[in-house]
Structure 1
């Protein structure tokens, strides 16, 4: 008998009852694997609630760090602590400890060239300002790390969220190191002329502030993603797609304007020309290209830095206003209209704060509000672009 005939008889001898259990087991296995994958990619309702609150809390903490950092810069307190420890150090408790800390500060350029004759009580004020800023940063690390570890253990992070959480953790660590790298630039013995003003590098200050803005943006975007998912439209128009691109461009310009503000702060450029809209009696100041080579003027010449910041701020105002008005003529998700209005209104308020700060010779309260306003303006731009995230292509 041939092998083909034997195989045929064997197949006819099999009953359906022999096959059904195998198929059933296969179906159960596939269903289980599918359910497991779905569980991995979804966050439970209670998890979404707490992860969203945690992310909003982290963004609020970073916002607070930017405000405190601005006050530290405005009160010229950043160079009062001349050493750095990863986990911080205990503040002075006795008179002898305070005098020892003060004596250490007196060895560095800021005291020698600028603050000679400072009293111990005056030193205590700037020391506590810088100490508070550093401790706030360490508190952010704790506020981020402990809940992140718990939520990760509970399985409340999707795969995508795990990558974002890791990115935020790395940024927090780098931000602390960059902060000390920035302060160190003001402690270096590079200020020889008695007319020099000891200050941190404006490049490092811009990097430090820029990283804080990036970290804040990541926290806020993900908090919105978890708590208030972007709404979808049934019909997406070509105008809506153009509007989305314009909103992203506006957000990028607001970020660029904020970075230029860091250069203004780093060079005390707000104290160069305290008139508006002209620079004294000129539309373009005479010393705008005083440095050589020419490129140095854009980052090291206080006049040019202030001029550029004014131009960037004016353009940002125009973009935000256009974004607000254009939204009335385009079909958008419902919450996008509110976000666009908030962005336009905040941009006008921010420009008003900037002009007032300039005309009043940079009072601490107004200058701090102006810096905080830049982050609020960016917040509304982030909210708007988040609401537009599903407007990617026209329906087929």
Structure 2
């Protein structure tokens, strides 16, 4: 983040100038009109830290990647991976800029409008981050913790393990989809509309779930529907992961696969607990951040398990 002078604020006068610059935007005029200079400095450093961290990630990747590429230490398949990683990092940075830009646009005019970034761009930013993390983790596991093998000759057992692997990949996809739906919850502050569980107020399906027209926009623009979808996805995901864990105990798998399945199931239930706690306590930042971090941990467990199952007979 830069001041109107084009450099980071250092003196008190520069901070005041930057604060006055911020006051031109809808977020201050509508939402933060009583913000003090010290409070502004806090959100400024939060944003600045996030941007610098993102740039550091790019540098930590680009510098060694360039060295290994030019020194001929990368195989052709690894070069393809490195190019893909670099493109994803670049796309993630651009999407972050595009997302922030949406919160500065002059599009908040209604009495109930709250200046915020577009939930669509927020979900896209999160999706790219999770995809980037997944492919990096998978590649790291390939090189640092290769999947174990196990000999299976009986066709009925091979068929059963194949189905288990398909279920594991399905669970991984559901974890990703649930996390993306969580981005819509965050983008619309949907965690604040029905703070009860398991019912939403006194109903399983709330009355205002399809109040917007056309009906399809409720899926991404109605806070009630967005929260409902996140609940359903979360419940479905933890149920299937539990089934996966139960089935894994009855299949012949490599030793580490059992450990991965145990960790996956345990993390799934912890994540559900964090989600319910976040909802019932009206989304306090520490618990909400833990829930968000938990989604990444859960995805990590899913990637680990599916990686451990990759060498099973097909």
5+ unaligned residues in a row in structure 2: which ranges? none
Please name the residue that 1:7 is paired with.
none
Please name the residue that 1:217 is paired with.
134
Cα distance in 2 for residues equivalent to 1:235 and 1:203: 46
Please name the residue that 2:228 is paired with.
307
Deviation at 1:325, TM superposition (A): 1.2
SS at match of 1:205: helix
Q: In the alignment, is the contact (CA less than 8 A) between 2:2 and 2:9 conserved in 1?
A: no
Distance 1:83 1:378, change over 3 A: farther
Match of 1:277 among 198, 214, 217: 198
Count of residues in correspondence between the two structures: 309
Instruction: Determine if the alignment matches structure 1 residue 319 to structure 2 residue 240.
Output: yes
Residues 299-342 of structure 1 show CA distances to partners (whole Å, capped at 9, x for unaligned) of 00000000000000000001111111111111111111100110
Q: In the alignment, is the contact (CA less than 8 A) between 2:3 and 2:9 conserved in 1?
A: no
Cα distance in 2 for residues equivalent to 1:155 and 1:119: 54
Residues 41-96 of structure 1 show CA distances to partners (whole Å, capped at 9, x for unaligned) of xxxxxxxxxxxxxxxxxxxxxxxxxxxxxxxxxxxxxxxx5889xxxx74210011
Cα distance in 1 for residues equivalent to 2:214 and 2:297: 36
Distance 1:359 1:383, change over 3 A: same
Cα distance in 1 for residues equivalent to 2:206 and 2:124: 28
Instruction: Determine if the alignment matches structure 1 residue 378 to structure 2 residue 299.
Output: yes
Deviation at 1:154, TM superposition (A): 3.6
Bigger radius of gyration: 1
Q: In the alignment, is the contact (CA less than 8 A) between 1:202 and 1:262 conserved in 2?
A: yes
Cα distance in 2 for residues equivalent to 1:278 and 1:82: 46
Please name the residue that 1:107 is paired with.
24
Please name the residue that 1:28 is paired with.
none
Distance 1:153 1:368, change over 3 A: same
Please name the residue that 2:211 is paired with.
290
User: Which stretches of structure 1, 4 residues or longer, exceed 6 Å deviation after superposition?
Assistant: none
Q: In the alignment, is the contact (CA less than 8 A) between 1:113 and 1:194 conserved in 2?
A: no
Deviation at 1:157, TM superposition (A): 2.1
Instruction: Determine if the alignment matches structure 1 residue 235 to structure 2 residue 156.
Output: no
Deviation at 1:194, TM superposition (A): 3.6
Cα distance in 2 for residues equivalent to 1:121 and 1:150: 43
Cα distance in 2 for residues equivalent to 1:207 and 1:392: 36
Instruction: Determine if the alignment matches structure 1 residue 348 to structure 2 residue 269.
Output: yes
Cα distance in 1 for residues equivalent to 2:311 and 2:106: 53
Distance 1:327 1:123, change over 3 A: same
Instruction: Determine if the alignment matches structure 1 residue 184 to structure 2 residue 184.
Output: no
Cα distance in 1 for residues equivalent to 2:77 and 2:103: 40
- Taking structure 1 as the reference length, the TM-score comes to 0.76
Deviation at 1:195, TM superposition (A): 2.7
Deviation at 1:374, TM superposition (A): 0.4
Please name the residue that 1:94 is paired with.
11
Deviation at 1:392, TM superposition (A): 4.8
Match of 1:328 among 243, 249, 260: 249
Cα distance in 2 for residues equivalent to 1:283 and 1:189: 37
Bigger drift between 301-310 and 226-235 goes to 226-235
Q: In the alignment, is the contact (CA less than 8 A) between 1:200 and 1:266 conserved in 2?
A: yes
Cα distance in 2 for residues equivalent to 1:174 and 1:247: 28
Match of 1:358 among 275, 279, 300: 279
Please name the residue that 1:25 is paired with.
none
Deviation at 1:193, TM superposition (A): 2.0
Please name the residue that 1:339 is paired with.
260
